[in-house]
Amino acid sequence: MRKKFAIACLAASVAATPATRVAAGGSDIAGGIIGGIIGGVIVNEANKNRQRPQQQVRRTAPNPGVSAATRAQNREVQTSLNYFGFPAGTPDGVLGRNSRNAISQYQAFMGYAPTGTLNHYERDFLVTSYHRAISGGAVTSQMVAASPLGTRGLLKTYQQQLAGGGMIVPGAPVQPGTTVVVNPQPAPQPALPQQPAVTAAAVGAAAGAAAGGVAATPALPNFLSQGNGQSLASHCNKVSLVTNSNGGFTTAASMTDAGFVLEEQFCLARTYAIAEGEELAARIPGVTPDQIAEQCAGFGPALKDQVAALSFKPKEQVLEDVRGFVMGSGMPPAQLAGTARVCLSVGYRTDNMDVAIGSGLLLAALGEDVYAELMGHHLAQGFGAARRVDLALDWYDTALGATDRGVVPVFAPAQPERADLIRKAAYRLGGRDGGASLSTGETRPQPAALPTFAIDN
């Protein structure tokens, strides 16, 4: 009886602990995204203690929320990694530390960012390459024997063939219209619902002409505002293929296409932004990635005016508007900056340009000038904004000026030559050094303009 009374007192003291102590591990970021997440920690621990004598191996799965299909996919990934010489351990369907280390090795070998987490394209390429290799028979054996890299050499060979159109990988961006979204939010696709609206406009115009009257001007269809613009994720996959087929990133000495150089650097910065945000999100207690993504989706509507202004207002006016938003948000700047980093990652990971641009604007307005580089990329390449190279140069100058002052870069900090490369490419693109103007080649994205249709009666 005395022992039970002591245990009851101990549980009561734990339950009385202030909620702020539970959330302390999440720092300012947790307060910025959600507050007061406690869950049933004490009850869960008590239940675990009562169930210990009855524990069975089958009932203590590391992640009971993972479906059988997901485990099968994970086992396929682990098997593929092991085959190509990236030791992931026993294929058990659980991507633990060994598997994440193997994934990082695979990503580094292929020239991807070593995040330890596969996006859709990286996974599809790995698994498809594995099935192609094991079905190749004697041909595969000859290729492995001829390569100094062994089975890993197959990956490089398949990658080069893919870049040349000789191999199709599910999810690979082999066509400009292909959209690859990494871990997309569950949202309906707007392309099909928009079709009746265009048809209705055509019917209305025809009816007006038949009646001999003046038909009312139909509202302009707006596809891009609902996320149906060009996919940055798909575009970056395509850029990555070209980069790998070229043997690596373009340098200042080898630069011939300034636009493509900026595309490479934009995709590189995007990868670092995703990795940084995911690392911060992992330190937020009691909240899932889907819950974080759902809350970050509010950045788009909240900052829609500032995001829209990026396409036609000078940099200082845009930042002044964003600072006004910060002042009215009621959040401490440090909290807001941490939240913006997490949501910047979510925006790029889910291909939501409004969230990504809004988060980047917040960071730039809060004095973190290195993030201004992202705004320059969006304006120079037309993702989530109108393509305005003239406005992009001021944003590039802000980011490069911060680097010149000694501010540590947040994107590829181990590449000090990157700042000069971006400066050279941006200035040539903008015509400041007499270089080539903005290319209109096939790889250049089109401006994010509203479409208009001429409908025949």
What whole-number distance in Å separates Cα of residue 366 and Cα of residue 319? 9
- On whether the CB atoms of residues 307 and 300 are closer than 8 A, the answer is yes
Question: What is the secondary structure of 77-111 as a DSSP string?
Answer: HHHHHHHTT----S--S---HHHHHHHHHHHHHHT
3-state helix, strand, coil in the chain (%, to 5): 60, 0, 40
Tokens of 221: 């269809």
Of 180, 145, 143, 174, nearest to 158 by C-alpha is: 143
Residue ranges, the chain, pLDDT below 70? 1-66, 164-229, 433-457
Question: DSSP code of 281?
Answer: H
Cβ-defined contacts of 39-45 (< 8 Å, 24+): 39/286, 42/11, 42/14, 42/15
What whole-number distance in Å separates Cα of residue 248 and Cα of residue 257? 15
User: What is the per-residue pLDDT across 114-132, written as a single tens digit (0 to 9) for each?
Assistant: 899 999 888 888 988 888 8
User: What is the per-residue pLDDT across 67-108, written as a single tens digit (0 to 9) for each?
Assistant: 788 888 898 899 999 999 899 988 888 899 999 999 999 998
Can you give the pLDDT at residue 65?
Answer: 59
Measured at the CA of 254, the angle between CA 261 and CA 258, to 5 degrees, comes to 30
Can you give the pLDDT at residue 12?
Answer: 52
- On whether the CB atoms of residues 63 and 94 are closer than 8 A, the answer is yes
- On whether the CB atoms of residues 298 and 345 are closer than 8 A, the answer is no
What whole-number distance in Å separates Cα of residue 84 and Cα of residue 107? 12
What whole-number distance in Å separates Cα of residue 435 and Cα of residue 54? 74
Q: Compute and round to an integer the Cα radius of gyration of the chain.
A: 26
- Using the structure block, give the residue that is written with the tokens 């089975």: 151
Can you give the pLDDT at residue 430?
Answer: 84
